[in-house]
Amino acid sequence: MTGQTTGKAIELEQAAVHFGSFQAVHPTNLRIEPGEFFSILGPSGCGKTTLLRLLSGFLDPTGGDVRIGGKSMVGIDPSIRPTALIFQNLALFPLMTICENVAFGLEMRGWTKAKRRARAEELLATVALSDHAGKMPAQLSGGQKQRVAIARALAVEPSVLLLDEPLSALDLKLRQHMRAELKQIQARTGITFVYITHDQGEALTMSNRVAVMNRGRIMQTGTPDDVYDRPDSAFVATFVGEMNAVDGKVVTALDRVALVETPLGRFRAANPKGLGPGDEAILFVRPEKMRLLNAGEDEDNSIAARVTRRDMEGAWSTVVAQAEGRELRLHLPHSGRDTPPSGEVTLGFSADAGVILPKGEMSDD
Partner 1 sequence: MTRLFRAFGAPLASVILLLSGVWILGLIAAPQLIMIEQSLWRMERPEGSAEISVQIDGLYNRLDVIGLDRSAAESETDAAKRETELAALAAEEAAIKAEIAVLEEKESTPVKAYTLDNFGQLGSAHLAIFAKTIVASLAVSAIALVVCYPIAYAVAKLETPRTAAAIMLALVIPYAINELLRIFAWQMILNNNGPANALLGLLGFDPVPFLDSGAGVFVAMVYAYILFMVFPLYNVLETLDSNQVEAARDLGASTWQIHRRVVIPHARPGIAVGCIMTFMLSAGSYAVPYIMTRGTAAPWFTQLIYNRFFEATNWNVGAAYALSLLAVCTVFIFLMMRLLKVSLKDIAK
**Closest approach of Cβ 75 to partner 1, in Å?**
15
Query: By C-beta, is 155 or 218 nearer to partner 1?
Result: 155
**357 Cβ partners below 8 Å, 6+ apart?**
231, 232, 233, 234, 237, 272, 273, 281, 282, 284
Q: In what order do the strands lie in the sheet with 291-292?
A: 291-292, 344-349, 301-312, 316-323, 326-333
CA-CA distance, 257 to 181, in Å (whole number)?
42
**Closest approach of Cβ 153 to partner 1, in Å?**
8
CA-CA distance, 74 to 57, in Å (whole number)?
8
Query: By C-beta, is 43 or 78 nearer to partner 1?
Result: 78
Query: By C-beta, is 82 or 287 nearer to partner 1?
Result: 82
Query: By C-beta, is 148 or 260 nearer to partner 1?
Result: 148
**256 Cβ partners below 8 Å, 6+ apart?**
270, 271, 272
Query: By C-beta, is 56 or 301 nearer to partner 1?
Result: 56
Query: By C-beta, is 89 or 168 nearer to partner 1?
Result: 89
**Closest approach of Cβ 156 to partner 1, in Å?**
6
**Closest approach of Cβ 193 to partner 1, in Å?**
16
Query: By C-beta, is 89 or 184 nearer to partner 1?
Result: 89
Give the 3-state secondary structure of residue 301.
strand
**Closest approach of Cβ 53 to partner 1, in Å?**
9
Answer whether 137's CB lies under 8 Å from 87's CB.
no
**Closest approach of Cβ 20 to partner 1, in Å?**
12
| Angle of the 142-155 helix axis to the 98-108 helix axis, nearest 10 | 20
Nearest Cα to Cα of residue 101 among 91, 114, 111: 91
**Closest approach of Cβ 83 to partner 1, in Å?**
7
Beta strands 160-164 and 344-349 are unpaired
Residue 222, beta-bridge partner list:
210
Give the 3-state secondary structure of residue 257.
strand
**Where does this chain bind partner 1 (CB under 8 A)?**
56-58, 77-80, 83-85, 87-89, 91, 93, 95-96, 104-105, 107-109, 152-153, 156
**Closest approach of Cβ 202 to partner 1, in Å?**
20
Query: By C-beta, is 80 or 254 nearer to partner 1?
Result: 80
CA-CA distance, 46 to 163, in Å (whole number)?
16
